[in-house]
Amino acid sequence: MIKRKVEIASVKKLIGQYPVTALLGPRQCGKTTLAKEFSADHYFDLENPRHLTALDNPQLALEDLKGLIVIDEIQRKPELFPLLRFLVDTNKSQKYLILGSASRDLIQQSSESLAGRIAYYYLEGFQLYDTGNSNWKKLWLRGGLPPSYLARNNETSFLWRENYISTFLERDIPQLGINIPARTLRRFWLMLSHYHGKVINFSEIGRSFGISDFTVKKYIEILENTFMIRTLMPWYTNIGKRIVKHPKIYFTDSGILHYLLSIDSVERLLGHPSLGASWEGFALNTVLRILKKNWQEVFFWRTHNGAELDLYWQSKGKSWGIEFKFSDAPRLTKSMQIAVKDLKLSKLFVVYPGKDKYRVMKNIIVVPLNLFVDPQINLYTQN
CA atoms within 13 A on the CB side of 72: 20
pLDDT of residue 380: 84
- Of the three residues 62, 95, 122, the one that is the final residue of a domain is 122
Domain boundary among 100, 122, 144: 122
CATH number at 18 reads: 3.40.50.300
Please tell me the predicted confidence (pLDDT) of residue 188.
Answer: 92
**Amino acid occupying residue 327:** S
Whole-angstrom Cα distance, residue 257 to residue 264? 11
Residues 85 and 76: their CA atoms lie apart, in Å, by: 18
Residues 6+ away with beta carbon under 8 Å from 106: 22, 24, 74, 75, 78, 100
Task: Tell which of 89, 122, 155 closes a domain.
Answer: 122
16: Cα separation from own chain's centroid: 24
The verdict on 259 and 285 lying in the same domain is: yes
Asked if residue 31 and residue 161 are part of one domain, the reply reads no
Residue 225, C-beta contacts closer than 8 angstroms, at least 6 positions apart? 102, 103, 104, 105
Residues 86, 168, single domain; the answer is no
In the chain, % helix, strand, coil (3-state, to 5) comes to 45, 20, 35
Q: What is the pLDDT of residues 296-355, one digit of tens each?
A: 999 999 887 778 999 999 998 999 999 999 999 999 999 999 999 999 999 999 999 999
Residue 111 has a pLDDT of 76
Q: What is the pLDDT of residues 167-207, one digit of tens each?
A: 999 988 887 778 888 999 999 999 999 999 999 988 989 99
Q: Identify whether the C-beta of residue 139 lies closer than 8 Å to the C-beta of residue 131.
A: yes
Residues 11 and 143 in one domain: no
One domain for residues 208 and 267: yes
321 has which bridge partners?
Answer: 312, 348
pLDDT of residue 240: 52
Which pLDDT score is estimated for 244?
A: 62
Please tell me whether residues 257 and 138 are part of one structural domain. yes
Q: What's the predicted TM-score (pTM) here?
A: 0.92
Specify the number of domains making up the chain.
2
Say what the pLDDT of residue 209 is. Answer: 87
Is 12 found in the same domain as 139?
no
Domain that holds residue 174: 128-381
Check whether residue 147 and residue 51 sit in a common domain: no
At residue 243, the pLDDT reads 61
Query: How far is the CA of 39 from the CAs of 12, 33, 192, 312, in angstroms?
Result: 11, 11, 40, 40
Which residue stretches of the chain have pLDDT < 50?
none
Specify the DSSP class assigned to residue 112: H
- Per-residue pLDDT, 241: 58
